[in-house]
Amino acid sequence: MKADVVWTNAYVLPMTGDNGGLFADGAVAIKGNKIIAVGKTQDVLREVQAEEQIDAEGKLLMPGLIDAHIHSSYAIVRGVAQDMDNWMQKGVWPWMKYMDLKDQQAGSVMNIIEGVRAGTTTFADYDANMSSLLESYASIGVRVHAAEMINEMPKDIGDLPVGELYPLDPSIGEQKLQANIQLYEKWHGAENSRISVMFGPQGPDMMSLDLLKQVEREAVRYDTNLHMHVCQGDREILQLEKRYGKRSIPFLEENNLLNSRLIAVHLTEATEEETKQAAKSGAKMINCAGSIAIIDGIVPPVEVFTQAGGTAALGSDQAPGNNGNNMFNEMKFAAILNKVKARDPKVFPALKALKMATIEAAKVHGLDHHIGSLEAGKKADMLVIDTREPTLSPVLLYPVENVIANLVYAARGEEVKDVIVDGRFIMKDRVMQHIDQAKAMQALQYRAEKLAEKVKA
């Protein structure tokens, strides 16, 4: 069997089986954009003849990380909305109303670079003007599961007094729905299937029930997911109670919208009973631990959700709330915050966090037949991590295995040396391969300063 590249003599963490399947003296072989062999070095070398053999002694090979929920354009306003209440109204909307497409593009590029440098190979981006943002994803070469953010919210919504019922504009909703349909028809399956598209209603409080049902019909027609903020905060609950007399979960269930097609982001304000109801419906959950902790001071009920049988993933959300988009941070936040919430150090072990950034995240987005683990036949999305960095040293496999714990609790992302997506190096020796990082940072700084002048005025 012929291969393009084989990595040998490495620690391999394929994220298969109950314990992740970690083993030493391992090898991974790829041909084209697929993994063709994973196993002990001597066994793989008996099977394959590779054009290039890379000695990966001291390195760890593992699947690329999946950021299951991100608003990438918001990186342009990183750090502007911390340590405040009413984060969206007071913090973000005063900036968003002045953001133009070039601002969005500059922010998105920076978030992609940031994510890749910390091992993210797949981004579930959820934003406005997504078709334009996908140009950068395509050129940089990462994988993306994208949605246009659909709502009926006027641009000046941030000027509305806190707690007042939103004035919804059906013409805005129709325009954004059509943008999502066009996004699907233009991009789904593009770039050798690295780009896939779902539908993105922003939240049940931000659109009419008629539009929400229409979006779901389109998701059924195209056989894809609904990626939606659900129980995002007390603001959402207040809006739905005023408009329909229902909380979010009962409202969705009553209208047949709580089902396996739904990817529910946050569930911040869901009660224990509502959380269990969502899990049992087949809906999936995305937990943005760092973002919600900073924005709301709340630990979302992901432990209740998974204990009820639900499938959940981790996301970084957005830079003005979370400050960063680094999945190593998210794994650590999720594990530690849930231990504190439960007052139990056994809750949310490191392996669970790692699964929710790899194979479980792939399941949430319906991509687990392609990515999320290192297995023959899957796409060659892989990280090469240097275990000889201080944060990952020493490596012990017995009597206690410490690799997974150190990835979750100690790693910062800089241990990632190479990032491979679809069998191609996206980052090599810490250098981005398909974009000028310095130029991108310069462009972001320029656009951010111009945006700040508009906000100040």
pLDDT, the chain, mean: 96
Question: Does the structure show a pLDDT above 80 at 402?
Answer: yes
One domain for residues 75 and 48? no
One domain for residues 44 and 81? no
Question: Which tokens go with 274?
Answer: 């509502």
Question: Does the structure show a pLDDT above 80 at 134?
Answer: yes
One domain for residues 294 and 253? yes
CA-nearest of 121, 145, 151, 115 to 133 is 145
Q: What is the mean pLDDT of residues 360-367?
A: 98
Amino acid identity at 260: S
Residue 252 to residue 85: CA distance in whole angstroms: 27
Confidence bin at 13 (pLDDT 50/70/90):
very high
Amino acid identity at 334: A
Amino acid identity at 399: P
Question: Does the structure show a pLDDT above 90 at 154?
Answer: no
Residue 389 to residue 384: CA distance in whole angstroms: 12
One domain for residues 211 and 240? yes
Residue after which a domain boundary falls, among 331, 348, 364: 364
pLDDT in the model for residue 160: 73
Confidence bin at 457 (pLDDT 50/70/90):
low
Spacing of C-alpha 156 from chain mean position = 28
Q: How many residues does the chain have?
A: 457
One domain for residues 388 and 323? no
176 to 105, 140, 145, 215, 415: CA distances (angstroms): 18, 26, 18, 10, 40
- With respect to residue 454, please indicate whether it lies within any of the assigned structural domains: no
Q: End-to-end alpha-carbon separation of the chain, Å?
A: 65
CA-nearest of 132, 126, 173 to 147 is 126
Q: What is the mean pLDDT of residues 100-113?
A: 97
Helix axes 170-187, 130-140, angle to 10 degrees: 30
Reported as a single tens digit per residue, the pLDDT across 260-299 is 999 999 999 999 999 999 999 999 999 999 999 999 999 9
| Residue written as token pair 């410490």 | 402
CA-nearest of 397, 393, 374, 394 to 384 is 374
Q: What is the mean pLDDT of residues 120-139?
A: 97
Residue after which a domain boundary falls, among 364, 395, 418: 364
Question: Does the structure show a pLDDT above 70 at 164?
Answer: yes
One domain for residues 21 and 92? no
One domain for residues 258 and 384? no
Confidence bin at 161 (pLDDT 50/70/90):
confident
- With respect to residue 315, please indicate whether it lies within any of the assigned structural domains: yes
- The domain that holds 395 is classified in CATH as 2.30.40.10
- With respect to residue 54, please indicate whether it lies within any of the assigned structural domains: yes
Question: Which tokens go with 48?
Answer: 């394959």
Question: Does the structure show a pLDDT above 90 at 320?
Answer: no
One domain for residues 386 and 359? no
- With respect to residue 439, please indicate whether it lies within any of the assigned structural domains: no
Task: Give the alpha-carbon dihedral of 73, 79, 85, 89, to 10 degrees.
Answer: -30
One domain for residues 55 and 195? no
Which contiguous run of DSSP H or E holds residue 105? helix 101-117
Q: What is the mean pLDDT of residues 330-342?
A: 98
Residue 88 to residue 160: CA distance in whole angstroms: 12
Residue 89 to residue 233: CA distance in whole angstroms: 12
- The domain that holds 274 is classified in CATH as 3.20.20.140
Residue 255 to residue 448: CA distance in whole angstroms: 42
227 to 57, 150, 204, 344, 425: CA distances (angstroms): 40, 10, 11, 32, 29
pLDDT in the model for residue 155: 79
Residue 288 to residue 397: CA distance in whole angstroms: 31
One domain for residues 88 and 168? yes
Residue after which a domain boundary falls, among 326, 344, 364: 364
Q: What is the mean pLDDT of residues 39-50?
A: 97
Residue 146 to residue 126: CA distance in whole angstroms: 6
3-state secondary structure of 118: coil
Query: Which range, of 53-57, 117-121, 128-132, 190-194, averages the lowest pLDDT?
Result: 190-194
Question: Which tokens go with 51?
Answer: 């054009």
- With respect to residue 440, please indicate whether it lies within any of the assigned structural domains: no
Question: Does the structure show a pLDDT above 70 at 421?
Answer: yes
- With respect to residue 413, please indicate whether it lies within any of the assigned structural domains: yes
452 to 86, 106, 321: CA distances (angstroms): 20, 14, 17
Question: Does the structure show a pLDDT above 70 at 220?
Answer: yes
pLDDT in the model for residue 86: 81
User: Between 80 and 383, whose confidence is greater?
Assistant: 383
Residue 246 to residue 27: CA distance in whole angstroms: 54
Q: What is the mean pLDDT of residues 415-427?
A: 98
Percentage of the chain beyond pLDDT 70 is 99
Instruction: State how many domains the chain has.
Output: 2
CA-nearest of 320, 348, 343 to 333 is 348
Reported as a single tens digit per residue, the pLDDT across 245-256 is 999 999 999 999
Q: What is the mean pLDDT of residues 173-196?
A: 96
Supply φ then ψ for residue 61, to 5 degrees: -100, 125
Confidence bin at 148 (pLDDT 50/70/90):
very high
Query: Which range, of 88-97, 194-203, 331-340, averages the lowest pLDDT?
Result: 88-97
Confidence bin at 199 (pLDDT 50/70/90):
very high
Number of Cβ within a 10 Å radius of residue 340: 13
- With respect to residue 420, please indicate whether it lies within any of the assigned structural domains: yes
- With respect to residue 114, please indicate whether it lies within any of the assigned structural domains: yes
Q: Which residue range forms the structural domain that includes residue 140?
A: 65-364
Give pTM, 2 decimals. 0.97
Question: Which tokens go with 244?
Answer: 């329909």
One domain for residues 294 and 428? no
Helix axes 101-117, 437-456, angle to 10 degrees: 140
β partners of residue 13: none
One domain for residues 119 and 238? yes
